Amino acid sequence: MTPHDAPIILALYPFTRGFAFVLFQGKHSLIDWGIKEIRGTEKNSGTMQAIRRLIDRCAPSELVLEDVTGKASRRAERIRALHQSITGLAEVRGIPVACYSQSQVRSHFALTGQHTKQELAQAVARLFPALSAHLPQKRNCYDAEDRRHGLFAAAALAITHLSRSDDKR
């Protein structure tokens, strides 16, 4: 398989103020990433509109999301509904969706000693130095989570997916 034949993986991580995404072509080629903030009262419809445009532009062969259906998931009901909408869009477009729980992602990265969100973000930045400029500072317990953590959460989902895909081959 040549690099141009490698599947295009789009990992999305919706959060309170929008969503983060990473786009991989194959296991080692991070080709695009970003954070999109959505403002207003209709966040889910605005987010879905932005995700549709992203999918149209990138034409991914697979979509990766966090599994928000488990009892351990602490995601808000709005985010859960958004995940259902994203999954429905992918189904209509014929794009396979893979979902991984936070515990699956953490266990993948725990093999190399990363346990916290900050450690996970640092591990992703080491694997893909282009993202290191976006690495958030370690936060204090009273600080709100930096939106850039969503970028690293999306990348960690994609890395987990790509690693598990290799294990199946």
Summarize pLDDT for 98-108 with one digit per residue, the tens: 999 888 888 88
Using pLDDT thresholds of 50, 70 and 90, give the confidence band for residue 72: confident
At 66, is the secondary structure helix, strand, or coil?
strand
Q: Is the pLDDT score of 1 beyond 80?
A: no
Residue 120 confidence (pLDDT): 84
CA 7 vs. chain centroid, Å, equals: 16
Report which of residues 114 and 28 the model is more confident about: 28
Residue 4 has pLDDT above 70, yes or no: no
Chain segment 16-64, per-residue pLDDT in tens:
889 999 999 988 899 999 999 998 888 899 999 999 999 999 999 999 9
Q: What is the mean pLDDT of the chain?
A: 86
The class that CATH gives domain 3-168 is alpha beta
Strands (DSSP E) contained in the chain are 8-15, 18-25, 30-37, 62-66, 97-100
Range with top average pLDDT, 40-44, 56-60, 114-118, 148-152: 56-60
pTM for this prediction = 0.88
For 76-88, write each residue's pLDDT tens digit: 888 888 999 999 9
Sequence ranges of the domains in the chain: 3-168
pLDDT of residue 31: 94
Angle 149-168/117-127 helices, nearest 10 degrees?
A: 70
pLDDT given for residue 52 in this prediction: 97
